[in-house]
């Protein structure tokens, strides 16, 4: 069964929060994966990014980020913060569902449409869950069925012949692939093709 872009966003949020709640009682002050941010700051970045993508699709700027910033309550316990991630993802999914096919909005990595912003949101959800889970000692690999459409949509030059999750991890600089060293710099291509 092929999921729609809004379903991919909400599915990614559900999978991510289900994984992260397993480490809710751990130390979230440690850096997330190979990032400079703590696990807690990475979670806040995730909420900001996913909500921000919905805002961009609504405002449709042609040359800038919008002034909406969303954040998680810094005093809230992790399970409540995970609820915030699900809320942000639901808002993005609803916005993608309601966006007309011709809707376009600015992003520094390519003006994009609803599916493009959905793919960006799914990438953020899956990759930052991977980062946090690695630090918390929760073994997890993103589901291939969520990764494959994202790789196809925003990583058009991705290598072929590998599992979609491993390809997305490589595209976002998190792992090496056979014959391909880990990327030190990367970005997606959100442009509509």
pTM to 2 decimals?
Answer: 0.97
Sign of CA dihedral 17, 40, 188, 140: negative
Mean per-residue pLDDT, 105-133: 98
Question: Residue 98 corresponds to which tokens in the numbers above?
Answer: 């309601």
Mean per-residue pLDDT, 133-137: 97
Q: Tell me the C-alpha distance between 130 and 139, whole Å.
A: 9
Q: Residue 1: pLDDT above 80?
A: no
Number of H helices, E strands in the chain: 6, 0
- Provide the CATH number for the domain around residue 73: 1.20.120.450
Give the domain range for residue 79.
Answer: 5-143
Whether 55 is covered by a domain: the verdict is yes
Whether 154 is covered by a domain: the verdict is no
Whether 32 is covered by a domain: the verdict is yes
Q: Are 48 and 40 in contact (CB under 8 A)?
A: no
Whether 175 is covered by a domain: the verdict is no
Mean per-residue pLDDT, 89-101: 98
Q: Tell me the C-alpha distance between 10 and 86, whole Å.
A: 7
Whether 95 is covered by a domain: the verdict is yes
- pLDDT category at 169 given cuts 50, 70, 90 is very high
Q: Tell me the C-alpha distance between 139 and 23, whole Å.
A: 11
Q: Tell me the C-alpha distance between 59 and 124, whole Å.
A: 21
The DSSP code for 112 is B
Average pLDDT over all residues of the chain? 96
Q: Tell me the C-alpha distance between 158 and 137, whole Å.
A: 28
Whether 54 is covered by a domain: the verdict is yes
- pLDDT tens by residue, 24-82: 999 999 999 999 999 999 999 999 999 999 999 999 999 999 988 889 999 999 999 99
Q: Tell me the C-alpha distance between 17 and 8, whole Å.
A: 14
Residue 38's nearest CA partner among 26, 29, 46 is 29
Question: Residue 34 corresponds to which tokens in the numbers above?
Answer: 């190979």
Query: How many domains does the structure of the chain reveal?
Result: 1
Whether 131 is covered by a domain: the verdict is yes
Q: Of the ranges 35-44, 68-77, 94-103, 125-134, which one carries the lowest mean pLDDT score?
A: 68-77
Whether 91 is covered by a domain: the verdict is yes
- Compute CA distances 127 → 26, 35, 60, 122, 162, whole Å: 19, 11, 26, 8, 17
Q: Tell me the C-alpha distance between 184 and 53, whole Å.
A: 25
pLDDT at 67: 84
């Amino acid at each position: 069964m092929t999921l729609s872009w809004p379903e991919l966003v909400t599915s990614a949020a559900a999978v991510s929060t289900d994984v992260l709640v397993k480490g809710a009682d751990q130390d979230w002050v440690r850096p997330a994966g190979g990032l400079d941010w703590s696990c807690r700051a990475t979670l806040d970045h995730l909420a900001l990014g996913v909500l921000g993508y919905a805002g961009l699709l609504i405002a449709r700027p042609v040359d800038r980020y919008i002034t909406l910033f969303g954040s998680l309550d810094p005093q809230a316990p992790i399970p409540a913060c995970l609820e915030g991630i699900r809320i942000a993802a639901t808002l993005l999914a609803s916005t993608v569902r309601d966006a007309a096919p011709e809707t376009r909005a600015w992003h520094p990595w390519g003006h994009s449409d609803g599916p493009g912003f959905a793919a960006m949101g799914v990438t953020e959800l899956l990759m930052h869950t991977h980062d946090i889970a690695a630090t918390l000692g929760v073994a997890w690999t993103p589901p291939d069925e969520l990764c494959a459409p994202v790789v196809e949509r925003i990583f058009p030059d991705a290598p072929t012949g590998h599992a979609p999750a491993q390809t997305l991890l490589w595209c976002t600089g998190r792992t090496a692939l056979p014959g391909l060293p880990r990327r030190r710099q990367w970005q997606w291509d959100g442009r509509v093709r």
